[in-house]
Structure 1
Amino acid sequence: MQNSVFPALSSSTKRFLLSTSALSIALIGSPAMAQTVSSPANEQTSPPKSGLPDTDPATAPQTTELDETTTEDIVVRGIRAALESAKDIKRNADTVVDSITASDIATLPDLSVAEALGRVPGVTISRFATGGASPDFPSPEGQGNLIRGLGFVRSEFNGRDAFSANGGRVLDFSSIPPELIGAVDVYKNQTADLIEGGISGTINLRTLEPFDRQKPFLAISADNTYTDLRKKSSPSGSITGGSRWKTGIGEFGVVASVSRSKLSSRINGWQQNSPFPRVLDATGNVPQTSLTGAAKLSEFTGVDPSRILGTTPGFQLRTNDVDRDRRSYYGALQWKNDTLQLTAKYIRVEEDTDSIERTFEWFPEHDTGTTAGISNLSVKPGFGSDGVAMCSGAGGFPSNPGDCETLIPIRGGLMESGFVTNRIDAWTGAVGSPVGSLGIGRTEESKTEDFSLNLRWQPTERLLVTVDGQYTKASARQRQIWGGFNTYLDWQIAPDLDNPRIAFSVNPAHRFNPGNTRFSGDSDANPLASPTSAGDLNGATWQFAADQFQVGKGDLYAFRADTAYDVSGSDGLAGWFDSVKFGGRYSERSQTNSEMALNWGAISPAWDGRGGYGVVGTFQEPTKAAEAISFANFFRGGVVEGPNQTFVFANSALLNDYSAFRKYLNAEPQLANGNYNWVPRGTDDGSKFGVPIFRPEDTSNITEQTANAYARLDLKHEFDNGMSIAANFGVRYVRTKLRSTGFQAFRPFVADAQTPAFADTDGDGVLERTRTDDAESRDDPADFLPQSIAYGAQAAVPISFKQTNENWLPSFNLRWNVDSQQLVRFAYSKGLSRPNVQDLRASQEYVVTTNRVNFPPITDENDPLFGIDRGAQNITAGDIRVNRGNPLLRPTTADSFDLSIERYFRGGYFSVAGFYKSLSNIVTNGDLALGTTTLDGQTVNIIYNGQVNQAKAKVKGIEVSYQQFFDKLPGVLSHLGFQGNYTYIDSSTTPPANGVDSDGDGNVDDQTTFFRFGVDDLLGQSDHILNVVGIYQDSALEMRLAYNWRSKYLTTYRDYVTGNPVYNSAAGFLDASVRYRIGPLTLRTSVANILDTKSKARVQIDQSGQLYDRFSFLNDRRIVFGILLQY
């Protein structure tokens, strides 16, 4: 009996002719060379008859079986070859699989695998730099993928573990160049032999192997990418070659590839606040108020809601310039004889990214002092809400727990435009609102290397043994530098996500006056020069600086062995049995992650009058500290109006160089005597990256050992009526051992600053009373809480956690071939996804919070104590907050069901699939009570805030896919093709739990852990996803027009600025590519984001679900021109 699935290894020619394997028609980073493929006249693919499953993880999905009937020769290449191959993989897969091939990736205008995967049915791309769904950090390239709305994705290289050393489990697909990939398989359900870890799916990246080609080959490509916002060109290129030859001891093959790709891009972003309630005065304007803290709520006491206006004076202008340099190296060596095949591979991917982000912003939610006035109002009537919150809890006021959740009704309409002015810091001579200009310099470096060795032994026609070994090591590091300035301005604003308009002005009365401050001992009592424009260095003060470091490294050893035995050919009931397969795998992953939170400190803020404001124009070398950046072309122009279109930011040369940044701040004389309290967390070693200073509690070491075994039985049967079935069922046993070590740290209280009772408040040399005599003895936690102070002063101590989890994962897959063209598929599996490695870190920090009770305010101006600081009436311990990792997290588990009807025909297929998933133990942010302790005579709760297992979710939906080439149309129309898919998803999850309310007063202890409106949507999940691709291909010309659209989706449960949930709006992106072949030379061009689509978002503002505009981001259009030479 001839095994039709796994023929003898020496029969390579027959295998090549009988399979449209993905890799046999693909060249890394280039379209396939023309191949004459023998196919049936009606392209009818029969069900498998017998044989062993392919147990090589790198090649398993490639099996394609064809009836050896009368055939005709057709030439398959390029786009068509890729889609034909993907169709065959999908049809003959043992479970639910969709694929794309290297030809497909290289043809689409996609610069990374992540972007190309966005074309696969049910797969969406994340366009945010945090990989998840953070709405504040968009990315110039796709950063990650969700499968059917879920992010529990397992990533593989050639069927093996692949990861980045960034604390997560998934390989950063945006870092993988298309030139490296032969094909990508997306598994949406499981078989017992697939490695566990992806309950939403597994994405397997397959590289080209030497035996995928029959002859020596060489391909050289060169491209140039122009980005139209950045107005820069970036080169890329690759060289790929391979050969195979026969010797007396067997056949050898080798393939090698090297590529380098650069990209310079820009992102523009406009943000605005949600409707902020303010009271209209008798003139129809919003007056400036001096209410602060909780007193702001009194503005609405007794006011008719018809006089309360929804105002939108806040804004953010953001631009981010990103420079990415990606390099990849790949080599593979194969050898085989009649019974053995040996494959060795080496993969190395490196990526360096430098970016300069600049934001120019002011938001009323974070306005802690005097509230701005708004005049020249244009109001949209009819807008209203039963109640909106005034602040986010992450900044601004509240003074008391629950203040942010006080709902203010709005019935006075919505501000469409207005003039915003402020005198919040008038005591310094400043007039206008303090607009923040923040510059952030980021440097990111990552490297992943993978070594693998695979041995396949087929001693008999029925037995196949595969042994596979792998070693992977990865490293990543990131550094951020923040430089924050203030510029005092007024502005006229008309907020809008498509066409916002804002015009800034400098108030002529604005003039810094160092002698008129709340502090004594000023070095200069003379007013400074008034700034003449928004870009004048004399109008900008250096407020703060911050740094942040993250360094990670990890490695993984894995070994697996699989045995498959062909039991087909028996009569009767035993004839149903086709093959048995069993095996085991062991892996050990070790990862060390060091990370510090953003380390913020004051440089010379405006409220500091003790030696200088840090006014940039007065610096010794001001142009080294700052630069004026024009926003005239922001959003392609027209947003920033009037003469003030240039703003002051920290110099990019400093933001790009940590050592230079530190040296400048240390050397600037103006900052020497100010309120400079920033303590850098890195050393100046002369390098641009710097050397981070990690405390013991900043580092965690995690070792994870997994051992698993599986058994799988395959059934096949052909019925007399022409129908047939193919099924597999099995079970996988998984044992996971985790050891996490780190440090338990305690956060010390800030030292009690000694402030005298008398001070010179007006610079006349006379000391006036500012505090009572006993105020200093009762103004700090140290004056009330000695045990709490001692608790926070403890040294960090080592801690270690161990845990073991065991899981049994059954699976069942059935393919019922109704006839030669139509089949019905069913799949069920139980799966698991382990928590992110960074979430399992043992290091934790314990922080004692305090509650301060002030004396009742004195309102009688004749009272001798009016305006005098009396200290605190009492300060008590609140609770102990524990943050950082949770090494006791358990895996998330899911039951997955799929049912599909698929019809295949020459040139295409049509399929309809339904799916359902039920998930448990989802890891999400929440609070967890750990116990109590006694401090200063009080029972204090110990509360962990971070990642916990507490959510469940259900996901169901349908996928419709259609693909066809219209060969039967006349003339040039016969070269047309179409590819389309639509996915509908209906999901819900447990709403995020609010934080702990330890005192039972109805308010959570930490306002930032309060989640409004009970939103039960899944992050990043759209209800509707659509891909439509039009294709033209003849013997020389290939053209593709691709449109990708998705409906709105939740990006965060709690926005930092508003405190509310934010939804990205529906959006579609149109891309195109053209290729023309002239012999061995291919000319190619592509355009991404032809429609210049903005990524917009809206914020939910009240319990009714009402949405309002929140932000809009615009990416470059990318235009690529290139050539490909192949032999």
Structure 2
Amino acid sequence: MKNRILGTTAFALVAASPFAAFAQTAAPADAGVSNVDEIIVTGSYRRSLEQAVDLKRKNVGFSDSIVATDVANFPEQNLAEALQRMPGVTIERNKGLGQRVMVRGLPSEFTFVSINGLATASGSGGRDVEFDIFASEIIQQVTVQKSPTAAHEEGGIAGSVNISTARPFDYEGRRVVAAVEGAYNSISEKVDPKVSFLASDTWGDWGALVSFSTARRTNRTDSESGINFRPLTRFLNQGSGRGAQAVDVLARDAGVVVKDRMNAKETDLIIFQDKVGDRAYLNTQDQWGGTISLQYRPSSNFSLAFDAMVGAYDTTEDEYDAAAYSASSRSTLETIHEYDKTTLGEYGMVVLRDVSYTATQHEMLSKERINKTDYRQFGTELNWSGDSWRLHALAGYSGADKTLDSSNLKHVAYAPSRTRWTNRGGETIPSTTTGGFDMYNSPDKYLFEAYETTLEHITDDKYAAQVDFTKYLSLDFFPALTSVQFGARYTDKTKQRDYGALNIQGSGAGKVDYVGRPMSQSQLTPIGDLVPGGAFNVRDLNWSQVSNDYARRTFRYDGFYTPFNVGDYYEVSEQVTAAYAMADFNFDIGSVPVMINGGARYVDTSITSSGYHQIQNPNGSTGYTPEPVSNDGGYDKLLPSLNITAELTDSILFRAAASETLIRPALTDLAYKRTASWNSYRFTDGNPNLRPTYAKQWEVGLEKYLPQGGLLSVSYFSKQIEGVVRQALTGVVKGVTKYNANGTVDGVYDFDVYQPINQPGSYDVTGVELVAIVPLGLIYSPLEGFGINANYTALDSSLAGQSKIGVPTPPIGLADSTYNFTLFYEKDSFQARVSYNYKDKYVEGIGYEMYPIWRDGYGQVDFSASYKLNDRFQVSLEGINITDEATTGYTMDPSFPTTYELSGRRINLGLRMEF
């Protein structure tokens, strides 16, 4: 049976055995595998922690878990946010909402995710899973595996996240639970509903369970962002006098003498602002999910279960953007008002802080992104055991279909302007030059350029089958060997992508009668009415533009659709066959009991990538023709693992683990595809020849167990990682014709080609992880009922120099430190918790492969309180981000901010009913 923690509490952090999923209820006492099935938690957060500590003491290996023992007990917005309480786990936020999970500060793509033992499809195409698509109320337990055994599916350098849904025999008899909740967002000022339900019953040898959850979330985010570095190469290498004028202005206003304006090595070190924008986002999310579980269990030695999980995550994001694109193709420098030669002087860089430009492209952009994701998973699992053996088998399917329908109504006005950095972003103000104007309040100046549409459909399918056999031993000649285990697994994963783009420029197909039409001829709405919640929060600004609803009704003529382009289709399939063997040993060294689990896993992977190359048309004619292309490849690897536990004293355990593991490249990166970034003059291609990223890792730790379920633990871990995938310049396409959105020719340029590659060499990541679970009544008796649950992770990395201009840069996504702290109180029917989680700054990308873009450290305070009115009813009050923290970022130095976003507080009031 699966390792499951049951009861009526909110959630608990637990440490689970790395091979507990393969344990049996009737295992011999000397098998060295603790019995962790059907542990009943008595209904309190504190008791659940005590159970967790008891499990941690008995099990072998490094791992942590979080458990929702019934429905509607996660206090956060989604599953990702619930996981951030676990030791070493942080999340990646998108406009205030937790989206991806990071383990021990490593990038999210280094984490492997499975549900009920099956690799999870979410439609992302990467190895990282978008956790926001899953309704957390249908999840029973999540375990983060940090030290794998040979029996665990390979795929997680940072760790493996194993999610379980509930089954009927997890409960004693009939169970019916329902919950309703209302959630208020402080910026959108909307109240969103959530309804959850679970029903489970058993009769004789059979049981059935159903659970369901549906919710709507309305999140508003106000943002001042997009103020990125842009090398002055953009202007200096242009003809028509623009490049020469930039050279003259640099010398005149900043004393910077350009020796060769066509030499990128020189011009890449002179920086100006790319685009400054004020943006309001409204993200409306409709989410539902449900599970069905049927279970046949005639005895404690036999169980057959069928699990199904289905759901959908539909989100519509409206973005309203007033922006100034300083690097427009018509513009160049006019006057440099302020420059900075000192802040980044060690790299030889000059940053133009305050500049007037000759012809900035001012934009009013109404963007609509509709994302519809449908996911499903079906699986069956067999557990059968005898007096000295156990058989475990599973088979199943996980799939997701994602459709992304995006549009951008673009009105532009070219005019002189002045753009400069502020203390938390940037701003554009009217130029003193003739022709300058107030970009926020001149709708008659903005002319229709295009209504751009894109349509993308992704199908993500994964199949798996696995069988494991365990033999428990009692050998007179080798008493230390207590069990051996063998197993095999086969997985088949496929991703297909269709993509198309089409611009509307007139009232019908082929018409251009909208081009040049002033924005003032459309229905305009003030920004405070375009998104609920009133005035813009980041700056004292007000402007009006076209709503997405009006744009869709007005500019999408009858019969319009966005066709798929055959040349943008690709398919990537991956088949993995794995086999493993491992053994468990139990013996004493002097008076110290020792448990060892060791083994090895062999994996063989084959990949087929199919798509199209764009071939230049013959005989000098313009344009490209798609030509089908396919590539087969593969690799194999032997992955050893070792886990050790030694009971030094009655209250102190020593643990150690070592293993080799891998993470495969994203299917998207393996695909034959080409994506154009026209404003950046670059193509991004896939690379079917990518290889996995490998890691050799080890860890040691000590755990001190205290009375009343307390715990103090420390561990030190080390990972040597090689073959990291990163984007690199691999070629140049000369003579590419670039078009404006209205169909006119902008010019002919050379485009850089970037591809994902396996970076040569390796780097080391080391870290320390601390955990403290302390009932404060142990320290001071009047504090009985209070306690703390805290953890801290600190990392150090050897990698530097990903920037092609030599700027020292840590691995993308890696944070030096993370910590979580929860203070809880519990007495009678009342429970309360206040939590703070923090993730240190990290590099989220490298602009133009040169300039590290940092996300600032972020901390958030949440709270949860509940009161049990009687045996059937419980009320709860929860607050998320109650201090209203902003998300911020910068390029290279905090004095060059790139991002400032406010997503507001969220207050939830709920009622839980149990029958």
Normalised to the residue count of structure 1, the TM-score between the two structures is: 0.69
CA contact (8 A) 1:907 1:966 kept: no
Cα distance change on mapping 1:540 and 1:46 into 2, 3 Å: closer
| Corresponding residue to 1:266 among 193, 213, 220 | 220
| Corresponding residue to 1:613 among 506, 509, 516 | 516
Q: 2:236 maps to which residue?
A: none
Cα distance change on mapping 1:1085 and 1:156 into 2, 3 Å: same
Residues 1036-1077 of structure 1 deviation map (CA, whole Å, 9 limit, x = unaligned): 111111001122111111169xx6221112221111111111
CA contact (8 A) 1:1030 1:1041 kept: yes
Cα distance change on mapping 1:942 and 1:1014 into 2, 3 Å: same
Cα distance change on mapping 1:955 and 1:661 into 2, 3 Å: farther
Structure-2 separation of matches of 1:103 and 1:46: 16
Cα distance change on mapping 1:819 and 1:1031 into 2, 3 Å: same
Q: CA deviation at 1:629?
A: 2.1
Q: CA deviation at 1:510?
A: 6.3
Q: CA deviation at 1:51?
A: 13
Q: 1:946 maps to which residue?
A: 755
| Corresponding residue to 2:281 among 320, 335, 356 | 320
Structure-1 separation of matches of 2:326 and 2:175: 63
Structure number with higher strand proportion: 2
Q: CA deviation at 1:170?
A: 3.3
Cα distance change on mapping 1:453 and 1:323 into 2, 3 Å: same
Cα distance change on mapping 1:365 and 1:144 into 2, 3 Å: farther
Q: 1:140 maps to which residue?
A: 97
Cα distance change on mapping 1:1096 and 1:833 into 2, 3 Å: same
**1:712 is the counterpart of 2:582:** yes
Q: 1:360 maps to which residue?
A: 322
Residues 704-761 of structure 1 deviation map (CA, whole Å, 9 limit, x = unaligned): 211111001011124562x21111110111111112222222256xxxxxxxxxxxxx
Q: CA deviation at 1:603?
A: 7.8
* 1:7-26 mapped onto 2 (5 Å cutoff): 22-25=4-7
| Corresponding residue to 1:1072 among 830, 842, 863 | 863
Residues 856-898 of structure 1 deviation map (CA, whole Å, 9 limit, x = unaligned): xxxxxxxxxxxxxxxxxxxxxxxxx975322221111111111
Cα distance change on mapping 1:908 and 1:296 into 2, 3 Å: same
State, as a whole percentage, how many aligned pairs show the same letter.
Answer: 22
Q: CA deviation at 1:961?
A: 0.8
* 1:994-1073 mapped onto 2 (5 Å cutoff): 1011-1054=804-847, 1060-1073=851-864
2:46 is paired with a residue whose SS is helix
**1:650 is the counterpart of 2:546:** yes
Tell me which moved more, 159-168 or 482-491: 482-491
- The total of aligned residue pairs comes to 863
1:839 is paired with a residue whose SS is helix
Cα distance change on mapping 1:509 and 1:895 into 2, 3 Å: closer
CA contact (8 A) 2:243 2:332 kept: no
1:898 is paired with a residue whose SS is strand
CA contact (8 A) 1:434 1:489 kept: yes
| Corresponding residue to 1:663 among 557, 560, 564 | 557
Q: 1:234 maps to which residue?
A: 192
Structure-2 separation of matches of 1:50 and 1:313: 53
Cα distance change on mapping 1:192 and 1:421 into 2, 3 Å: closer
CA RMSD of aligned residues (A): 4.3
The code of the aligned residue for 2:46 comes to: R
CA contact (8 A) 1:26 1:82 kept: no
Cα distance change on mapping 1:829 and 1:450 into 2, 3 Å: same
1:149 is paired with a residue whose SS is coil
1:263 is paired with a residue whose SS is strand
* 1:878-897 mapped onto 2 (5 Å cutoff): 883-897=684-698
The code of the aligned residue for 2:525 comes to: E
CA contact (8 A) 1:317 1:360 kept: yes
Residues 671-730 of structure 1 deviation map (CA, whole Å, 9 limit, x = unaligned): xxxxxxxxxxxx72xxxxx5x422222111222211111001011124562x21111110
Cα distance change on mapping 1:1114 and 1:1050 into 2, 3 Å: same
| Corresponding residue to 1:484 among 410, 413, 424 | 410
1:299 is paired with a residue whose SS is helix
CA contact (8 A) 1:47 1:817 kept: no
**1:913 is the counterpart of 2:715:** yes
Residues 447-480 of structure 1 deviation map (CA, whole Å, 9 limit, x = unaligned): 111111111121x211111121112222111111
Q: CA deviation at 1:1021?
A: 1.2
2:669 is paired with a residue whose SS is helix
| Corresponding residue to 1:445 among 353, 372, 390 | 372
CA contact (8 A) 1:1055 1:1061 kept: no
* 1:729-748 mapped onto 2 (5 Å cutoff): 729-746=598-615
1:538 is paired with a residue whose SS is helix
Cα distance change on mapping 1:970 and 1:893 into 2, 3 Å: closer
CA contact (8 A) 1:351 1:447 kept: yes
Structure-1 separation of matches of 2:422 and 2:253: 29
Residues 265-320 of structure 1 deviation map (CA, whole Å, 9 limit, x = unaligned): 01111137479999xxxxxxxxxxx9723530222337675999999897321111
Q: 2:119 maps to which residue?
A: 161
CA contact (8 A) 1:333 1:344 kept: yes
Residues 894-919 of structure 1 deviation map (CA, whole Å, 9 limit, x = unaligned): 11111111122232211111111111
**1:628 is the counterpart of 2:541:** no
Residues 84-141 of structure 1 deviation map (CA, whole Å, 9 limit, x = unaligned): 343344434432101111159965641111112222222221113xxxxxxxxx4534
Cα distance change on mapping 1:474 and 1:275 into 2, 3 Å: closer
The code of the aligned residue for 1:960 comes to: L
CA contact (8 A) 2:489 2:577 kept: yes
**1:1123 is the counterpart of 2:911:** yes
CA contact (8 A) 2:528 2:534 kept: no
Structure-2 separation of matches of 1:147 and 1:1035: 36
- Structure 2: unaligned runs, 5 residues or longer: 27-31, 233-239, 259-269, 735-749
**1:469 is the counterpart of 2:392:** no
Q: 2:456 maps to which residue?
A: 550
Q: CA deviation at 1:634?
A: 9.6
- Structure 1: unaligned runs, 5 residues or longer: 1-5, 10-20, 33-42, 57-61, 67-72, 129-137, 279-289, 390-405, 426-432, 512-530, 665-682, 685-689, 749-785, 852-880, 933-940, 994-1010
**1:125 is the counterpart of 2:91:** yes
Q: 2:162 maps to which residue?
A: 204
Structure-2 separation of matches of 1:366 and 1:930: 22
Structure-2 separation of matches of 1:1068 and 1:182: 27
Q: Larger Rg: 1 or 2?
A: 1
1:142 is paired with a residue whose SS is strand
* 1:488-567 mapped onto 2 (5 Å cutoff): 496-497=422-423, 534-535=440-441, 537-567=443-473
1:296 is paired with a residue whose SS is helix
Structure-1 separation of matches of 2:70 and 2:905: 21
* 1:470-869 mapped onto 2 (5 Å cutoff): 470-486=396-412, 496-497=422-423, 534-535=440-441, 537-568=443-474, 570-571=475-476, 574-596=478-500, 613-617=516-520, 619=521, 622-623=522-523, 626-630=524-528, 640-641=539-540, 645-654=541-550, 657=552, 661-663=555-557, 684=560, 690=561, 692-718=562-588, 721=591, 723-746=592-615, 789-790=620-621, 793=623, 795-843=625-673
The code of the aligned residue for 1:95 comes to: G
Cα distance change on mapping 1:636 and 1:1018 into 2, 3 Å: farther
Cα distance change on mapping 1:600 and 1:305 into 2, 3 Å: farther
Tell me which moved more, 711-720 or 461-470: 711-720
Q: 1:987 maps to which residue?
A: 797
CA contact (8 A) 1:506 1:534 kept: no
CA contact (8 A) 1:47 1:724 kept: no
The code of the aligned residue for 1:293 comes to: G
Structure-2 separation of matches of 1:89 and 1:636: 52
**1:1109 is the counterpart of 2:902:** no
1:83 is paired with a residue whose SS is helix
1:575 is paired with a residue whose SS is coil
The code of the aligned residue for 2:158 comes to: S
Structure-1 separation of matches of 2:230 and 2:497: 41
CA contact (8 A) 1:101 1:184 kept: yes
Q: 2:265 maps to which residue?
A: none
Residues 42-98 of structure 1 deviation map (CA, whole Å, 9 limit, x = unaligned): x9x999999983599xxxxx98559xxxxxx99842322443343344434432101
Q: 2:50 maps to which residue?
A: 84
1:301 is paired with a residue whose SS is helix
Normalised to the residue count of structure 2, the TM-score between the two structures is: 0.85
